[in-house]
């Protein structure tokens, strides 16, 4: 990994959707490697898909992109970034509320790891309305989420809520 420009895209990805894919693909153009790092702390976040399911779904979604890898972590994001040699944290912004949240997190991360840059990428207009929580709610109520998530994720959601 020495000499490579590595960025970390930390997220919960519950589930991964086209907005996440868009941000990752666009960010990957600027780095030798982008690690999509899925947060795995069940004490903090209640999730629909467990960590193994989220990693498997993301790995399938990104399998044809050689500069993007998928991993999971359960420590402070900045600590994981240091561990993998990342120089930047990638964040996506959809709506104004995201800016306030990401600004606070970015400033905290800067205090903890001043050598890491936080790079915010504006969501493409076609994905601004998409959020994992909205997708979960639509899917739970039997709605069609195929325009918001890759086919593998749509299948996984149908299976999850068929139980």
- Residues catalogued as catalytic: 20, 44, 94, 132
Q: 116, 85 in Cβ contact below 8 A?
A: no
Output the six-digit token pair for 85: 């040699």
**The token pair that represents 62 in the structure block:** 């990104």
In the block, tokens 């900045």 appear at 78
Q: Quick check: bond before 112 cis, omega within 30?
A: no
Task: Return all residues near 78 (Cβ < 8 A) that are at least 6 apart.
Answer: 89, 109, 112, 113, 116
Q: What is the DSSP letter of 49?
A: S
């Amino acid at each position: 990994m020495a000499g490579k420009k590595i960025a970390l895209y930390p997220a919960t990805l519950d589930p991964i959707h086209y907005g996440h894919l868009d941000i990752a693909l666009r960010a990957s153009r600027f780095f030798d490697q982008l690690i999509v790092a899925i947060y795995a702390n069940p004490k903090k976040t209640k999730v629909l898909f467990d960590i193994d399911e989220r990693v498997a779904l993301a790995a399938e979604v990104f399998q044809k992109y050689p500069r993007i890898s998928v991993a999971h972590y359960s420590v402070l994001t900045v600590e994981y970034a240091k561990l993998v040699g990342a120089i930047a944290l990638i964040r996506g912004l959809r709506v104004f509320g995201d800016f306030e949240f990401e600004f606070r997190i970015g400033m905290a991360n800067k205090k903890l790891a001043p050598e890491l840059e936080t790079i915010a990428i504006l969501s493409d207009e076609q994905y601004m309305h998409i959020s994992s929580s909205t997708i979960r709610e639509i899917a739970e109520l039997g709605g069609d989420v195929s325009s918001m998530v890759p086919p593998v994720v749509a299948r996984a959601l149908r299976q999850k809520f068929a139980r």
